[in-house]
Structure 1
Amino acid sequence: MKLSVKKGRLVFTGKIRCYEGDSDRLGYHIRQGKPEFDSWWLNENGFREISSLTLPQCFPKQKTIFRHCSLAQKRYQLRCEKKKAAETKPVSRPKTRMVYRQARKRTFTELPTFDRKW
C-alpha cells in the first residue's frame, strides 16, 4: 500500500477492501498478516476491492495522519523482516556432555528393624 498527499488530502493506493456495513459488525482479528472478521459473510463476500481511497476534508490535520500511517507502515515492514530473519537463522546451542548421575549403592551396615522400640 502506498501513501501520498495530493491537494492537501491523504490518498491510499493499493489493494484495499471497502466494507460498507455498520461498525458494530466489524469485529476482526489479524491472523497471519490478514484481517479475519468475526462474521463469515464479511470474510467471503462482504466487501468490494478498490484501488485507491481518498480521505475526505472532514478529517483535520491530514499530514499528521500521513506521518503516523507512514511510521506504522515502516514498523510493520521492520517487524516482518525481523520475523523472516528469525525464521531462517538457525539457533546455535553449546554442546554439553550428558552427565548421568551414578546410582549409589545403598548398603546398610545393619538391617532395619520394625519392632517400634526406637
Structure 2
Amino acid sequence: MHKMIHSDGKKLSRGFDKLMLAVNIPSLTAATALSIIYLLIIRRSGVPDDFFKLYITCFFMTCAYSFTVSVIVAVITNLRLSGHKKYTYIEILGEQMVISRYVRSSAGEKGLTVYRRLWVMDLSDVEQVTCTGRRVIIKGKARYFEAPANWLDYSCTENGRAEFDYHWYDEYGGEEVTQASFPDSFFYAERVAQRIIFCSEKQKRREIRRKEFRQRMLEIAARRRARKKPKERVFRGYEIERKF
C-alpha cells in the first residue's frame, strides 16, 4: 500500500510567476511613462539637455531596478522550488501516512539549513479530507513537527510505520494536533484526497479483521481450557487426583 505523492512543480511555478510580475509592476509602470514622455515630448520637440539627462537617468534606473528584483526573485524561486521538489510530498507507508512540507532555507555558520514541517498520522485515525482549492485539510489525530529537514529523516518499518533516524522523536518528539492543514501544491488534489480516503478505509477494515481474529482465537483458547479435565493417575493402588 506504499504510495509517494510529490508536489506539482508547474503548479508551484505559477505562484512564483505571479510574484515575479508583482515585483516588476513598478518598473513596468515607469517604463510605460518614459515611453509616453519620449513619444509626446522628446521626439516631437527639442528639450533642454538637463531634461534629457534626467530622462536617460530615469530610464537606466528603471532597467537596473527591474534587473535587480528579477535576479533576486529568480534566485529565491529556484531555491524554494528545489526545496519543495525534495521535501513537499505525501507518503503513505502502510499503517501510517507522512505529510512533509518545505518551509524555508536559511544561511548559517554551517551553510544552508533547510526547514520543513512534518505530520505523522495513522491511516486509521483519518476522519475527513477536504480540498478547498487553495488548501488541503486532513482531519484526524496526528503528531506535528517543525525542525531542520535532516533532523526529521525517517525510514519505513516492516509494519508500515515511520521510524525516525533520531529515535528521540519516536517517543517524545512532536506536538499532538487534530488536523494537518497545508497549501495545495499537488496535481489534481481531489484525486490525492480519494487515495488517502481509500487507504484509510482499507487500513480500518484491516484493523477490524485483526481484532475479530484475535477475539476469535481468545474464545477458542478459552473453550479448550474449559474442556480440559483433571488428569488422574493410579500409584500403588491409590488414586491420586492431579489438579493443575
TM-score range for the pair, normalised by the shorter chain length: 0.5 to 0.7
- Residue in structure 2 matched with residue 39 of structure 1 by the alignment: 166
Query: 1:4, 1:41 → 2: CA distance?
Result: 30
1:13-52: per-residue Cα shift (whole Å, max 9, x none)? Answer: 2221112231574224458886443422212333222222
Preserved contact between residue 14 and residue 51 of structure 1 (Cα < 8 Å): yes
Preserved contact between residue 138 and residue 180 of structure 2 (Cα < 8 Å): yes
1:26 is aligned, of 129, 153, 157, to 153
Shift of the alpha carbon at 1:5? 1.7
- Residue in structure 2 matched with residue 59 of structure 1 by the alignment: 186
Matches within 5 A, 1:1-118: 1-8=126-133, 9-21=135-147, 22=149, 25-29=152-156, 35-90=162-217
Query: 2:131, 2:198 → 1: CA distance?
Result: 19
Residue 207 of structure 2 aligns to a residue whose secondary structure is helix
- The two structures have a TM-score, normalised by structure 2, of 0.32
User: How many residues are paired up?
Assistant: 92
1:44-97: per-residue Cα shift (whole Å, max 9, x none)? Answer: 3332222222231222211001000000001101110111111111469xxxxx
Query: 2:129, 2:136 → 1: CA distance?
Result: 6
In structure 2, the CA distance between the partners of 1:81 and 1:33, relative to structure 1 (3 Å rule), is farther
Which amino acid letter does the alignment assign opposite residue 17 of structure 1? R
Cα RMSD for the two superposed structures: 3.0
Which amino acid letter does the alignment assign opposite residue 195 of structure 2? H
Give the number of the structure with larger relative contact order, counting CA–CA contacts within 8 Å between residues 6 or more apart. Answer: 1
Preserved contact between residue 131 and residue 190 of structure 2 (Cα < 8 Å): no
Query: 2:192, 2:150 → 1: CA distance?
Result: 21
Residue 89 of structure 1 aligns to a residue whose secondary structure is helix
- Residue in structure 1 matched with residue 238 of structure 2 by the alignment: none
- The two structures have a TM-score, normalised by structure 1, of 0.60
Residue 19 of structure 1 aligns to a residue whose secondary structure is strand
In structure 2, the CA distance between the partners of 1:65 and 1:6, relative to structure 1 (3 Å rule), is closer
- Residue in structure 1 matched with residue 62 of structure 2 by the alignment: none
1:92-113: per-residue Cα shift (whole Å, max 9, x none)? Answer: 9xxxxxxxxxxxxxxxxxxxxx
Which amino acid letter does the alignment assign opposite residue 2 of structure 1? E
Gaps of 5+ in 1: 93-118
